[in-house]
Amino acid sequence: MGRTHALTGWCAGLAVAPLVEARSVHQAVLIAATTAGFALLPDLDHPGASASRFLGPLTGLLCRILRALSAATYALTKGPRDEDVTGKHRHLTHTLVFAIALGWATNLATQEWGAHAVGVVVVSGLLLAEAVLGDWVLLLTGAGVVAWLGTAHDYVADLEQVSGWLGAAVAVGCFTHCVGDSLTRSGCPFLFPLPIAGETWYEIRPPRPLRFRTGTWVETGLLVPVFVVLGVLLLPGVWTGYVEPWVTDAWEQARARASG
């Protein structure tokens, strides 16, 4: 569901941030907000999804275009053992190829149009995430921007640095969505066009006992709380500044009581 996709995207963004040298809080939050929003984008191929309703008629039109393109791609490329389905939902936009292509296009756009493209990508991701996660995303990102404005000495250079990360954030967000869908009963054909067992659109999924149906207690009662906690712990400085010292102190006190 949308909330879980956005939460996993948020966590994935915070996990990726140090790998692209985004170590400050405001940098990590901007990447996480972008990744969280674009973790919803693959469902732009479903008319009832948050992404399809995001900008009303505009995203509705994009939805219809993507569904038609996905159906045509499926019809042209399906293997001998692929299912007899329309291929409109959970196909073209739910692939690693789509994630990489969108990330690459984002990089090109940010290089060509600079800060304007950066603003469009970040704000789009932020508003998409806010639509399913709530206003706390806006508040946290706003606090990050305020911190950035108070510490940055060269705003243009900072924006240029952010633009270099956005393609990766968009791609990671889209692929995180695919990984999440692959854990459900339907699976996700994110390795398209790699042929597997006679299928070009082979649904990747874990063994049957590990799959779950969307919207059940496994997702809402287990996965959502886990990713909420993880999304806080992954913020820069939270683990090393607060959790690790508390754990170390509690451990030392427990050892002292045991030895005393």
pLDDT in tens, 86-130: 999 999 999 999 999 999 999 998 888 877 788 888 888 888 888
Q: Cα(36)–Cα(251) distance, rounded to whole angstroms?
A: 35
Query: Of 8, 3, 22, 58, which is closest to residue 162 (Cα–Cα)?
Result: 22
**Residue 82 pLDDT:** 93
Mean pLDDT of the chain: 84
Domain count, the chain: 1
> 5: closest CA among 137, 186, 235, 178?
178
Q: Identify the weakest region by mean pLDDT among 141-155, 158-172, 192-206, 231-245.
A: 141-155
From 29-33, 100-104, 202-206, the region with the lowest mean pLDDT: 29-33
What is the pLDDT, as a whole number, of residue 195? Answer: 92
168 with 125: CB under 8 angstroms?
A: no
**DSSP of 35-69, one letter per residue?**
HHHHTSGGGGGSTTSHHHHTTTHHHHHHHHHHHHH
Identify which has the larger pLDDT, 251 or 50: 50
Taking the C-alpha atoms of residue 232 and residue 144, their distance in angstroms, rounded to an integer, is: 14
pLDDT (0 to 100) of residue 142: 67
- Residue 213, exposed/middle/buried by CB under 10 A (0-12, 13-18, 19+)? exposed
Q: pTM to 2 decimals? A: 0.85
83 pLDDT more than 80:
yes
Average pLDDT over residues 29-43: 91
Name the band, by pLDDT with cuts 50, 70 and 90, for residue 38: very high
Domain that residue 105 falls in: 2-259
Report yes or no: 219 and 5 within 8 Å, Cβ to Cβ: no
- Measured N-to-C along each axis, helices 115-133 and 155-182 cross at an angle, to the nearest 10 degrees, of 40
Higher pLDDT, 37 or 244: 37
Tokens of 234: 């992954």
Judge whether 129 and 37 are in contact, CB under 8 Å.
yes
